[in-house]
Amino acid sequence: MTVAFDIGAKLGEGALWDWRHGLLVAVDIPAGRVILGDPGDGSTRSIDVGQPVSAAMLRGEHDLLLAVRDGFATLDLDTGGVEPLVAVEADRPANRMNDAACDARGRCFAGTMATDDTPGAGALYRLDEDLSVHAVLEGVTISNGLGWSPSGDVMYHIDSKAGGIDAHDFDMDSGALSGRRRLVDTDPAWGLPDGLAMDAEGGIWVAFWGGAAVRRFSSEGELMARLELPAARPTRPAFGGAELDQLYVTSAKLDPGQTVERDLGGAVFLLEPGVRGVRAHPFAG
């Protein structure tokens, strides 16, 4: 394990490998920053997007689609300019966007949560290529990790407060979900399940907030591996590197007054997982 980028994020999230440019993308949610890390020389570039930003996805050849407090926006990486695309939950000012990812057809799935973690106040939405937004799950508390099986017929989703990983039958043609079921009940002693990443074998890698570790589960829900981190609050893993054989993990700082020996929260870590990941799908709109 090494520190890939010491970005000093209060709430680092949204690890994403930009295979177009060979960069690691991360966000600092409350600071409204998108951070681009170059593993070649260790340098970083920070872009202020003007409001809290929770996740980034690839768009086109140069841009990023952002999940921001107010909905979706697009970021021009050449100029740093940010333009709003579509509002989400404009009638719920106490909510914000959280984790997000795109499926193989380029549709974006993104969840919301209340800023005070009100139970059931959030939802999971699908943003289609035509920029129409559709609610696909209601009554979510902290919508987090998203991923798909290698065949694309199962979608995994985490509601952190629900303490587990759910599996859904996924219709690739329509983007519809059905057959929701619990795949893994996580041990509360592990912390809260947060963001996830899929590997090429169908393994599900989950960061555990408060647990200082990333765990790998099989598609049948079996615990396969555990990788420790020097930070109590890892948030989201992402496979990266030219061969997609490296695992980057974003993290958050502890709250003021909390003390843990040598907690490096706020950095982006680099692990050697022993398996390869899959490329992130760009947004098609």
Q: Does residue 197 lie in a domain region?
A: yes
At residue 262, does pLDDT exceed 90? Answer: no
Which of these is catalytic: 63, 103, 194, 199?
194
Does residue 255 or residue 220 have the better pLDDT? 220
280 falls within a domain: no
pLDDT of 218 over the 80 cut: yes
Q: What is the pLDDT of residues 5-22, one digit of tens each?
A: 999 999 999 999 999 999
Mean pLDDT (whole number) for 245-266? 88
Assign 257 a pLDDT band (cuts: 50, 70, 90): confident
pLDDT for residue 226: 98
Q: How do beta strands 44-48 and 33-37 pair?
A: antiparallel
- Domain tally for the chain? 1
The answer to whether residue 139 sits within a structural domain is: yes
Return the pLDDT at 197.
Answer: 98
- pLDDT tens-digit map of 116-149: 999 999 999 999 999 999 999 999 999 999 999 9
Is 260's pLDDT higher than 80?
no
Residue 249 confidence (pLDDT): 98
> Given a cut of 70, is residue 259 above it in pLDDT?
no
Q: What is the mean pLDDT of residues 164-179?
A: 98
Asked whether residue 149 is assigned to any structural domain, the reply reads yes
Q: Is the dihedral of CA 259, 261, 262, 263 positive or negative?
A: negative
pLDDT at 69: 96
Please state, in angstroms and rounded to a whole number, the distance separating the CA atoms of residues 196 and 14. 10
Residue 143 lies in a domain: yes
- Averaged pLDDT, 88-102: 96
Q: What percent of the chain has pLDDT over 70?
A: 99
pLDDT range class, residue 256, cuts 50, 70, 90: confident
User: Measuring CA to CA, which residue among 125, 133, 201 is closest to residue 157?
Assistant: 125
Q: What is the pLDDT, as a whole number, of residue 98?
A: 97
- What's the domain range around 18? 2-271
Write phi, then psi, for 225 (nearest 5 degrees).
-160, 160
Q: How confident is the model at residue 282 (pLDDT cuts 50, 70, 90)?
A: very high
Looking at residue 43, its pLDDT comes to: 97
In a domain, 138, yes or no: yes
Question: For this structure, is 194 an active site residue?
Answer: yes
DSSP for 25-75?
EEEETTTTEEEEE-TTT--EEEEE-SS-EEEEEEETTTEEEEEETTEEEEE
Q: Does residue 248 fall inside a structural domain?
A: yes
Q: What is the pLDDT of residues 42-72, one digit of tens each?
A: 999 999 999 999 999 999 999 999 999 999 9
Residue 94 in this model has a pLDDT that exceeds 80: yes
Q: Is residue 283 part of a domain?
A: no
Q: What is the pLDDT of residue 93?
A: 92
Tallying the residues shown for the chain, one arrives at 285
Residue 2 corresponds to which tokens in the numbers above? Answer: 């090494």
| CATH assignment of the domain containing 230 | 2.120.10.30
